[in-house]
Structures are given as C-alpha cells and as structure tokens.
Amino acid sequence: MSHEQDIHPFAVPTEQRHHFNLNEYEGLLNELNQQVRQKQPDDLLQFCSSFFLRKLENERAQHRGIGISSVNSPFGHQDESMFEEDESRDGISDLHTIAMSTLSGRGRRTSVSAESLQPTTTHDFVKTVVPKTDEQRERIRTAIGNNFLFKNLDEEQYVDVVNAMVEKLVNTGCKVIEQGGVGDYFYIVESGTLDCLINGEKVTEYTAGGSFGELALMYNAPRAATIVATSDCVLWALDRVAFRMILMENTARKRRMYDQFLSEVPIFKSLEPYERHKIADALEPLQFENGQVVIKENDVGENFYLIESGNAIFYKTAPDGTQQEVNRLSNGDYFGELALLNDKPRAATVVADGKLKCVTLGKKAFTRLLGPVMDILQRNSENYHAILRQANQ
Ligand code: 1OR
Ligand code: 1OR
C-alpha cells in the first residue's frame, strides 16, 4: 500500500520547529516530573515516552489548527461535508474518516488522516527486544494463536511481535486502561478475565486470546473505554510503536475492506460500528466456482458464512433420496448458522451457482462476536422449521 507522505507520524516539519529555549525545556521536565510523582507509573520509560509523544502530537496539531484533545474515538457519524478536499484516500481508512469526522474545526483531512493511520516503519525506529525465556515465548505463541489480528504475520513480523511483548501481571480490580487516558499499549490476554466499560457501563468482556486497546494507538485518540480485571490476569502488552509498526496496517486494511459490506448485511444493521469492526477482524474470505459444494447435508458444522457476491442454491434430500432445491440466497445473505446454533448436523447442501464469494467465521468467533444478534438468528431459524412443517403437511 502506498502512502501520501512517508514521514514519522509525529514529526514536526523542520521549518516549524522552535529554536532551542531553555525555559521551555525546564518547563517540560517540571511537568513530566509532576506527572510521574502523581501517577507513579509501573513502566517509567513508557510513561515518559508517551508524555513526549503526546506533546509532539499536540504541537503538530496546533500547527494545523487542530487540538489533539478534541480527537474522539471513531464512533461518531460520518460527515464527509466537513472535509474541504477530496484527495486520494489510498492508505486512509474509512473507519478513520469516521474518527476524523468527530474532530472539531475544519482541519485538512489528508494531513491528519494520513498521519494517524500511517504505520510506523522500521526505518523510523529501532525494534524493541524485551528478553524472554523459551517458556514465555511459548506462552505468547499460545496466547496470540487464537487471535485474528496476528493471523497474517510473516515470519519476521511474528518474531518482532514476540520480541516486543512485555508480560504484565495484574490483580483483580486493576484498571488496565482508563477511558479518556492516553494510549500506550495494546494488550493480549493470556489468562484471566476483564470487563470493558464505557461511561461506567459494561459493554463487553475479555478472556484468554482476547485483545484490546488498539483504537487509541491507531487513531491517536483518547482511550474509548475502561478495561478492568475481574480476576487475576496475565497480559502481554505491545507498545504503541511496535503495534503501529507491525499490526496496525493489516488491521486497518481488513476493517476498511469489510466496513461497507458488513454495514449492508441486514442482520448486522443493529450492531455498533465497532462490533462490526471486530467481526471484520475475524472474517476469512473463501471463493467457490460454479457447482462447487460449500456445505454438505449431515456434515458436522464448523463455520458460518456470509455471501459477499454471487448466488448459492440450497438442497435437501427428499425421503426418496432425490435432491430437492429448497432455497436460493445471494449478496448480504448468510447461511450455515443452524448447525452452530443447535449443535446439529448440516440441514442442507449448499452449492455455488456461478462464482460465489463468501466470508466465514469459525464456530468460536460466531458465538463470541454474534452474541448481540443471536436472538435474531434464532428467531429466523424458527422460520425454517415452520417452512419445513408446511412442506411436510
Ligand atoms: P482503546 O485504545 O480505545 C479501550 O482502549 C479499548 O476498549 C478500545 O481501544 C477497544 O479495544 C476496546 N467501543 C470502543 N472501544 C471498545 C469497545 C467499544 N469495545 C471494546 N473496546 N464498543 C463496545 C462494543 C461491544 C462500542 C460502543 C459504542
Ligand atoms: P446449516 O448449518 O444447517 C446448511 O447448514 C444451511 O443451509 C443451514 O444451516 C441454513 O443456513 C441454510 N432448511 C434448512 N437450512 C436451510 C434452508 C432450509 N434454507 C437455507 N438453509 N429451508 C427449509 C427447507 C424445507 C429453506 C427455508 C426457506
């Protein structure tokens, strides 16, 4: 993917830099000193680094006439009209446009967007290597093995991720992330449970293999939620630079790729944009040629399918053994939910009618991510039974 500007995300153009000013320097150190004493951070270096990064971001934003503190999370309404220019959007996520649409003021979109979602590159930073035992490396392998954000890493990226991770042990009740705070780390859960709260209300929870804390790092935005441990946890934390360098681009690309499609899938209409983004993280594309069997009646069901484009024909075996067409579905429709919902063999055979493009979710992701629409799926599945009863009468 190409980017409009290949610059350090927080760099200030040379001509805009101040001349050296001792008072300013001392003021900065005093402020940092005060914050360190007040917050007493566990990870001193990361805290200091975040402090300076934030100062740098603010300075840049002021040069553009935009206060970073006014950047909200990407959950506002999309309002393209506020942007004056219509420059190339290569490398800029739609999701991010949503984030930027919550900016107050009429900022120049391209400069702001490109910087927020512009990945940190290896040219800009020395890779972090936190020494680890083989046993720790193995535990990281297991913890990230079940997480979709780590699925498409190449060998080097995988090694970089494992090297950069820091083990964090947190006790029950510990606030790992505070809503409104500055983003420093992205977290993966090795063991334990955590609640995610927005304005004090629980919106979701995390268990082993879950991850959180990517939004503030992707969008230079304040933390969108509070994450609190509900049992003692072992977490692996990836600092902001490593996250942006290794994981951000793939994550943003996938969310952008499926954003439009998922927002048009009827059963997902009621979901929050962020819930659809989490589904996008977990989707795997699959393509079938004309006549290819996608699902075979009576097989064990492992996946749920959404049709991205094309048509699927559904057959059931009649008592005389012949295959009878019972249904046809197309773009935006779903299938394969019955076996997963009811823990039963596949109720029909599904065949591609022409080229069929699907995306699938595995059983675990189906249960975890489609929780909010489970009742709709269940209700719809009862319609099949009604149709089946009618057909048998
Ligand atoms: P972060 O860096 O902003 C808090 O720090 C994290 O909570 C956030 O990244 C996400 O990883 C995670 N909305 C926003 N953030 C959420 C949400 C969420 N759920 C988990 N996080 N919503 C709840 C969706 C079930 C949307 C509410 C409108
Ligand atoms: P599954 O996991 O059982 C086959 O795998 C899928 O075909 C099934 O989930 C449904 O998603 C999909 N009866 C049963 N399954 C159907 C039907 C169907 N239509 C689509 N599927 N019909 C009743 C036939 C008497 C047709 C209903 C209009």
Task: Tell me, using a 6 A CB cutoff, whether residue 195 lines ligand 1.
Answer: no
- Nearest C-alpha to atom 8 of ligand 1 is from which residue? 213
Q: Is 186 in the pocket of ligand 1 (CB under 6 A)?
A: no
Q: Is the CB of 275 under 6 A from ligand 1?
A: yes
Q: Which residue, judged by its Cα, is nearest atom 14 of ligand 1?
A: 224
Pocket mutation for ligand 1, best pick of 198, 207, 228, 255 (most atoms within 8 Å of C-beta): 198
Q: Which residues of 181-215 are buried (b: 16+ CB within 10 A; e: fewer)?
A: ebbbbbbbbbebbbebbeeeeeebebebbbbbbbb
375 Cβ neighbours under 8 A, 6+ residues apart: none
Say whether pTM exceeds 0.85.
Answer: no
Residue nearest atom 9 in ligand 1 by C-alpha distance: 213
Point out the ligand 2 atom lying closest to the alpha carbon of residue 339: 2
> What are the start-end ranges of the E strands in 232-301?
233-239, 284-288, 293-295
Q: Is the CB of 109 under 6 A from ligand 1?
A: no
Query: Quick one: pLDDT at residue 7?
Result: 31
Residue of 294, 316, 338 best suited for mutating to test ligand 2, as the one with most atoms within 8 Å of CB = 338
Residues of the chain below pLDDT 70: 1-19, 57-115, 121-125, 391-393
- Closest Cα partner for 49 from 113, 125, 109, 116? 125
Q: How far apart are CA 67 and CA 304, in angstroms?
A: 44
Q: Quote the ligand 1 centre to 260 CA distance (angstroms).
A: 20
CA distance 243 to 251: 10
Gap from CA of 257 to ligand 2 centroid (Å)? 28
Q: What is the pLDDT of residue 122?
A: 59
Looking at residue 320, its pLDDT comes to 95
